[in-house]
């Protein structure tokens, strides 16, 4: 009887040992799987939770005539970005920003105390002058950053606007060639990523990451600015002399069919009135 009891105890010990071994094996396999298979995914997820991105807009591609003369370009116009949780003294920060950006103290305080990761001070802090951007940087305020941005500039004003079109505040093409070639002109945004804890405080032990924006491609037209200038002048003269309901002019190179100039004078107000 005693021998049987000892054998049962030994079997139980072996069973417990085998069970513990299997549990440890499963844990080790699981840890190995997480470490070697899921590691990149989990690291990326953690960095996404910790990271805060300040977006840097790319330079929109220029539009040029056949002689490389600029028809549409960009002018630097930085944007003020704020990380509310990094602001130490909201009242002092709001007061300083309101003076530099020309906004009310209440609007500034309301904006920088929002429960958001990153905000843009819109509209006073968007696409500001270089002088204002330098003034904001000089304040050296915690949680306030300057992101590079630009606005679209047409050196000749409304000249060829019916062909070039125009872009919006976010530098996206809205009409004309600006819209048609949006994918080529727009480029790819970059960013400055920094890491912060759950309270929004920066984690100095982790290095910031900078992804450089990829500028858009330049677009060269077959338009000859000299021909276009003559065409615009002649249409203005014809419009003043004959007062037509509308006029259209197109200049084509007979050798290859390329468009050297095109313009129109349509009386849109009269068309709308007659509806």
Tell me the pLDDT band of 275, cut-offs 50, 70 and 90: very low
Residue 2 pLDDT > 60: no
Residues 132 and 83 reside in one and the same domain:
yes
Pairing of strands 209-211, 51-56: unpaired
On whether the CB atoms of residues 22 and 178 are closer than 8 A, the answer is no
Model pLDDT for residues 90-137, shown as the tens digit of each residue: 999 999 999 999 999 999 999 999 888 788 888 889 999 999 999 999
**43 occurs within a structural domain:** no
Average pLDDT, the chain: 84
Residues 103 and 157 reside in one and the same domain:
no
Residue 247 pLDDT > 60: yes
Residues 138 and 159 reside in one and the same domain:
no
**42 occurs within a structural domain:** no
Residue 273 pLDDT > 60: no
Residue with tokens 């100095």: 204
Q: What is the pLDDT of residue 211?
A: 83
Q: What is the pLDDT of residue 271?
A: 37
Give the Å distances, CA to CA, from 227 to 41, 91, 113, 251, 260.
58, 58, 55, 8, 7
Helix 90-101 and helix 130-139: axis angle, to 10°?
160
Tell me the pLDDT band of 85, cut-offs 50, 70 and 90: confident
Instruction: Look at residue 114 and give its three-state secondary structure.
Output: coil
Residue 274 pLDDT > 60: no
Q: How far apart are alpha carbons 20 and 6 in whole angstroms?
A: 21
Range of the domain at 182: 53-74+152-217
Question: What percent of the chain is modeled with pLDDT above 90?
Answer: 40
Name the strand (E) or helix (H) holding 119: strand 119-120
Higher pLDDT, 102 or 52: 102
What total of structural domains would you count in the chain? 4
Tell me the pLDDT band of 65, cut-offs 50, 70 and 90: very high
Q: How far apart are alpha carbons 84 and 196 in whole angstroms?
A: 12
Residue 269 pLDDT > 60: no
Model pLDDT for residues 181-240, shown as the tens digit of each residue: 999 999 999 887 776 665 556 666 666 677 888 999 999 999 999 999 999 899 989 988
Show which of 126, 148, 170 is a domain's final residue: 148
Show which of 110, 126, 148 is a domain's final residue: 148
**202 occurs within a structural domain:** yes
Residues 117 and 102 reside in one and the same domain:
yes
Model pLDDT for residues 144-186, shown as the tens digit of each residue: 988 888 899 999 888 888 889 989 888 899 999 999 999 999 9
On whether the CB atoms of residues 57 and 212 are closer than 8 A, the answer is no
Cross-strand bridge partners of residue 184: none
Q: How far apart are alpha carbons 60 and 255 in whole angstroms?
A: 32
């Amino acid at each position: 009887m005693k021998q049987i009891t000892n054998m049962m105890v030994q079997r139980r010990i072996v069973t417990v040992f085998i069970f513990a071994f299997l549990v440890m094996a499963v844990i080790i396999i699981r840890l190995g799987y997480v470490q070697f298979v899921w590691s990149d995914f989990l690291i990326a997820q953690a960095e996404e939770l910790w990271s805060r991105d300040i977006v840097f807009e790319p330079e929109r591609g220029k539009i040029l005539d056949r002689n490389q003369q600029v028809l549409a370009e960009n002018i630097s116009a930085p944007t003020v970005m704020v990380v509310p949780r990094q602001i130490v003294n909201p009242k002092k920060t709001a007061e300083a920003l309101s003076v530099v950006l020309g906004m009310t103290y209440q609007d500034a305080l309301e904006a920088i105390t929002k429960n958001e990761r990153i905000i843009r001070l819109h509209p006073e802090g968007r696409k500001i002058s270089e002088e204002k951007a330098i003034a904001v940087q000089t304040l050296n305020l915690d949680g306030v950053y300057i992101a590079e941005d630009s606005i679209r500039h047409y050196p000749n004003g409304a000249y060829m606007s019916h062909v070039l079109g125009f872009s919006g505040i976010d530098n996206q093409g809205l009409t004309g060639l600006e819209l048609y070639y949006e994918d080529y002109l727009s480029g790819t945004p970059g960013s400055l990523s920094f890491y912060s804890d759950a309270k929004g405080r920066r984690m100095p032990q982790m290095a910031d990451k900078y992804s450089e924006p990829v500028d858009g491609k330049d677009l060269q037209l077959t338009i000859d600015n000299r021909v276009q200038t003559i065409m615009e002048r002649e249409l203005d003269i014809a419009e003043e002399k004959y007062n037509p309901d509308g006029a259209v002019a197109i200049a084509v190179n007979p050798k290859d069919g390329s468009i050297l100039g095109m313009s129109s004078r349509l009386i849109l107000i009269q068309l709308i009135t007659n509806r």
